């Protein structure tokens, strides 16, 4: 049997890092996808093929799989084989158009699509159950994930995420035109999250105050999104970026990109873990093309993003 699933990448509009500490975050799924194909094979192996490599594992290898690129996929496959007590294996193929390691949710989208494709070889699951499996798989490489990224990749559209109380869909459809610029500096989300943890421990009072102010920004953002007030949304993105700078997750290249972006768009900020990765710029539709050209003239890798309303898709 063969099963296929695809899930979108994501951006975080507001609230990355603070979301790990209980502040709400606003996320959007974007129109770049990862597709995972899973297939039963007779041999007792788990084979994984993707654009970042290819490997074949025996079923006895769990715990010794140290390559972070393969661990969540191996985990998901092994879990299903064990649960259904099968003496057979699974071949997994991953195809992606989401740039990896730059804050656009490639790893979460992969966990979501893989959880759906692999589990469907054996059983039917709801989106909620698939999300739970995907988060478990992601935790094999990033223990402290808030779960926000897998949630948006599973459900698509735009959500407000709260680590403690779950998420809700933002059902009004603001006319957001976003341009993404990629610094092409890859990061380890886990390392950057640990760096922010150190910051929070060394600057307790200040961090608590920042969490409070970030919560205010999120509430403001929800009202502005409802009113389609993109001009003021841009302004609070600039404010949010100041907090991210203070957390120490920016760098010189990102600062240069943000400076340029703020001159040509309504507002810009890092999206995702930072430490490199991508920035997002909010624009008016008519300006997007010009902004992309201007950024490309400076050799920045830049493209526009539309909201993906579909989320996880199985076929």
Q: Give contact residues for ligand MEV (rule: CB under 6 A).
A: 12, 16-17, 19-20, 103, 145-146, 148-149, 189, 193, 272-273
**Which candidate in 97, 149, 229, 297 is catalytic?**
149
Which residue lies nearer to ligand MEV by CB, 197 or 253? 197
Least distance to ligand MEV, CB of residue 17, Å: 5
In the block, tokens 């730059």 appear at: 102
CB 40 within 8 A of CB 46: no
Which residue lies nearer to ligand MEV by CB, 20 or 254? 20
Which residue lies nearer to ligand MEV by CB, 12 or 48? 12
Least distance to ligand MEV, CB of residue 286, Å: 30
DSSP secondary structure, 189-245, as one string: HHHHHHHHHHHHHHTHHHHHHHHHHHHHHHHHHHHHHHTT-HHHHHHHHHHHHHHHH
Q: What are the C-alpha distances in Å from 84 to residues 38, 79, 89, 101, 234?
A: 16, 9, 12, 33, 50
Which residue lies nearer to ligand MEV by CB, 25 or 46? 25
Least distance to ligand MEV, CB of residue 94, Å: 19
Least distance to ligand MEV, CB of residue 28, Å: 12
User: Which 3 state secondary structure label does DSSP give 98?
Assistant: coil
CB 37 within 8 A of CB 3: yes
Q: Which residue is nearest to ligand MEV (CB)?
A: 146
182: part of which helix (H) or strand (E)? strand 177-182
Is there a catalytic annotation at residue 149?
Answer: yes
Which residue lies nearer to ligand MEV by CB, 73 or 102? 102
- The Cα 70–Cα 55 span in angstroms is 8
Q: Which two tokens stand for residue 200?
A: 């929070």
User: Which 3 state secondary structure label does DSSP give 248?
Assistant: coil
In the block, tokens 């600039």 appear at: 238
Q: What are the C-alpha distances in Å from 89 to residues 57, 78, 93, 114?
A: 10, 9, 14, 15
Which residue lies nearer to ligand MEV by CB, 35 or 146? 146
Least distance to ligand MEV, CB of residue 80, Å: 25
In the block, tokens 């209980």 appear at: 22
Least distance to ligand MEV, CB of residue 239, Å: 18
Judging by beta carbons within 10 Å of its beta carbon (0-12, 13-18, 19+), is residue 219 exposed, middle or buried?
Answer: exposed
Q: What amino acid positions are annotated as catalytic residues? A: 149
């Amino acid at each position: 049997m063969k099963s296929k699933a695809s899930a979108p990448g994501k951006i975080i509009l507001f609230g990355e890092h603070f979301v790990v500490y209980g502040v709400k975050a606003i996320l959007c799924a974007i129109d770049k996808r990862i597709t995972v194909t899973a297939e039963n094979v007779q041999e007792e192996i788990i084979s994984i093929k993707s654009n970042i490599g290819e490997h074949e594992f025996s079923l006895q290898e769990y715990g010794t799989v140290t390559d972070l690129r393969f661990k969540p996929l191996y985990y998901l496959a092994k879990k299903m084989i064990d649960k259904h007590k099968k003496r057979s294996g699974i071949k997994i193929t991953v195809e992606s158009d989401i740039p990896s390691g730059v804050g656009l949710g490639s790893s979460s989208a992969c966990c979501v699509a893989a959880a759906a494709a692999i589990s469907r070889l054996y059983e039917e699951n709801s989106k909620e159950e698939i999300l739970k499996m995907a988060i478990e798989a992601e935790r094999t490489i990033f223990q402290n994930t808030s779960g926000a990224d897998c949630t948006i990749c599973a459900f698509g559209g735009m959500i407000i995420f709260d680590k403690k109380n779950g998420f809700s869909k933002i059902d009004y459809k603001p006319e957001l035109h976003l341009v993404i610029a990629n610094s092409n500096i890859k990061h380890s989300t886990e390392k950057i999250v640990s760096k922010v943890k150190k910051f929070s421990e060394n600057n307790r009072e200040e961090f608590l105050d920042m969490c409070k102010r970030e919560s205010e920004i999120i509430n403001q953002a929800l009202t502005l999104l409802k009113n389609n007030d993109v001009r003021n949304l841009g302004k609070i993105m600039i404010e949010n970026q100041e907090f991210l700078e203070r957390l120490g997750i920016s760098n010189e290249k990102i600062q240069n990109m943000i400076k340029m972006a703020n001159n040509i768009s309504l507002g810009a900020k890092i999206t995702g873990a930072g430490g490199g990765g991508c920035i997002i710029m909010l624009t008016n539709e008519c300006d997007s093309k010009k902004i992309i050209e201007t950024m490309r003239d400076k050799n920045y890798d830049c493209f526009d993003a539309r909201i993906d309303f579909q989320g996880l898709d199985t076929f």
